[in-house]
Amino acid sequence: MASNGTENGEFSFASNIRGRNGLSKIQTHKKNQDEICHDDSATPVKAKTIDELHSLQRKKSAPTTPIKGTEGAFAAISEEERQQQQLQSISASLASLTRETGPKVVRGDPARKSETPKVSHVTHHHYAPTLSTSDSGLKFTHILYNLSPAELYEQAIKYEKGSFITSGGALATLSGAKTGRSPRDKRVVKDESTADELWWGKGSPNIEMDEHTFLVNRERAVDYLCSLDKVFVNDQFLNWDPNHRIKVRIVSARAYHSLFMHNMCIRPTPEELEDFGTPDFTIYNAGQFPCNRYTHYMTSSTSIDLNLARREMVILGTQYAGEMKKGLFSVMHYLMPKRQILSLHSGCNVGKDGDVALFFGLSGTGKTTLSTDHNRYLIGDDEHCWSENGVSNIEGGCYAKCIDLAREKEPDIWNAIKFGTVIENVVFDEHTREVDYSDKSVTENTRAAYPIEYIPNAKIPCVGPHPKNVILLACDAFGVLPPVSKLSLAQTMYHFISGYTALVAGTEDGIKEPTATFSACFGAAFIMLHPTKYAAMLAEKMKQHGATGWLVNTGWSGGSYGSGSRIKLAYTRKIIDAIHSGSLLKANYVKTDVFGLEIPTEIDGVPSEILDPVNTWSDKKAYKDTLLKLGGLFKKNFEVFTNYKIGTDNKLTEEILAAGPIF
């Protein structure tokens, strides 16, 4: 054991000198002054400081594809120039409208101060230069551009209170005081063009504001964002149809918002990002900062403002991420019909033979459950376009309700809640980080946002041929609508404009009774034009492509809520299967009273007696009274739509009205 290591001149075991317990004593040998003592068991790292070591850990990732349309081997611009162009574009987005330049922006996290910032700002020549400057004009705003989920996790956990990694790997976040949308605080700029184009007045979701007030709120949001050390910028797409996709830029102050939109919008490839250019629409999310209550049109400290002429949206006073998703959906409801494309609040799936079905339905009707079918591919769960090319999903992700989520009931959603998914306002065990989906301590509106590819049978790209079936779902708690009816085009328009379901609400004395709910086009909060316009487009496309309309009741049978019972999900699935297969088209039909609905006499796997609701009620008079009551509610709801004209006459509206209940 004499000289293990002596050839390196570092140490040796000297046999003639004994230490304690008789062991050989280790002797070190002096080396030359300029030599470094190191461990030879591995090659030494090429770093002199811990920061250098950390920089070695992170490998640079940058696309090197030349921009389309350039020619020659050296035509591609350098990565530095490309980044400079991106920063100039972002600086332009963040520019105040009262100053000559955008803010000084620099890429990267301000916490990593190793690099010297390279200034980028944009001069707006059409404003007279001012001699004064501001404090915000002297500082840098760091841009965290299209960060990956892993990077956004780090930012959220480090800087945002209430952000945690759950046991399944998802990022749990809090949306602050607001745990849902604020429709009463949403405003749309009314100008010369939108005054005529949009639906205003009774029944409309569009509450007006003027251009000046929008600019006041925009300035407030931009000043807030520019005052921060860092902002998150996402450049992404809407609409999977490449011919009709929209470029969107989201500027936000929270990693939570950036990851949410990373999941919900379509994620560009590195090559698509190189060629992104100027966005078609920009969101300024300054939700942590309130609006000024003294500003005209403001009724609270929250304001969500859309300016369709400027293609901009401003969010103040709410951190609920769903405002961005649904704000962009409203924008698509305006932009797409201008291209003769129908925007739809629906689920969509496609069979192995290419037969596409659209599912419309309000909350609680079973839209998510019925459009998720393991024998079919999911195109999308919520927002779609129907163009000359067929159907396409608007989004790149799903936004699923989590309350009472169980693996047995909804395995696809359960399994999608993993690394990369954002879960909002859920409660979890402080030690194990296991989520308790039944806990409503923060809110009942707990949600998960995840990329659509997390669903195993998602069809990527999320596009399909023209729909064969248009399924309108209603949960009729009055128990008088048939389990399924075949609709004429006029009836499809009538029930599409009505957007009916019935909720079960408690009354003063604790008895629960049905309450009719109507939401035009099954998404009244998001439509921009008059509902009849969307209905006419739907009927036109259905006629052109030979699609059939169906009304499916997933609610009660044999009596209203309290006396009847809910139609079994197994029966509803059999009905949907018969629609998909085409066998229901071949059935024999009879017509009902009042609503004039065509109902089949038999469906495989469904008891024939339940197909006509009158058979299931023991009290026939109570059935008739309830049917007339519901018919009256439909008529009353439709009054707001009767005076609308398409073209010079009322012919279309009269045709639609005639397809409603008659008594």
Q: Give catalytic residues, as residue numbers.
A: 181, 326, 345, 363, 367-368, 382, 447
The count of C-alpha atoms lying within 13 angstroms of the C-alpha of 68, restricted to the half-sphere facing its C-beta, is 7
CB 622 within 8 A of CB 564: no
Report the C-alpha gap between 639 and 636 in whole angstroms.
Answer: 5
Q: Where are the alpha helices (DSSP H) in 128-208?
A: 149-159, 192-197
Q: Which residues have CB under 8 Å from 211's CB, separation 6+? A: 189, 191, 307, 309
Reduced 3-state DSSP string for 595-612 = CCCEEECCECCECHHHCC
CA distance 520 to 194: 20
Contact 555, 351 (CB under 8 A): no
What DSSP assignment string belongs to 68-89?
A: TT--STT-SPPHHHHHHHHHHH
Residue 54 backbone phi and psi in degrees, to 5? -65, -35
Tell me how far apart the terminal alpha carbons of the chain are, to the nearest angstrom: 108
d(CA 413, CA 405): 8
What is the distance between the alpha carbons of residues 110 and 61, in angstroms, rounded to a whole number?
19
CA dist 198 and 208 (Å) reads: 10
CA–CA separation, 475 and 366 (whole Å): 8
CA 185 to CA 525: how far, in whole Å?
12
Residue 22 class from Cβ within 10 Å (0-12 exposed, 13-18 middle, 19+ buried)? exposed
Task: Give one DSSP letter per residue of 95-145, joined into a string.
Answer: --SSSSBPPEEEES-TT-TTSPPPP---B-TTS---S---GGGGSEEEEEE
In angstroms, the CA 471 to CA 461 distance is 23
Other Cβ atoms less than 10 A from the Cβ of 130: the count is: 11
Among candidates 340, 420, 423, 343, which has minimal Cα distance to 380?
Answer: 343
- The span from the CA of 656 to the CA of 489, in Å, is 9
Angle at 653 between CA 649 and CA 657, to 5 degrees: 145
**Radius of gyration in angstroms for the set of CA atoms belonging to the chain, rounded to a whole number:** 31
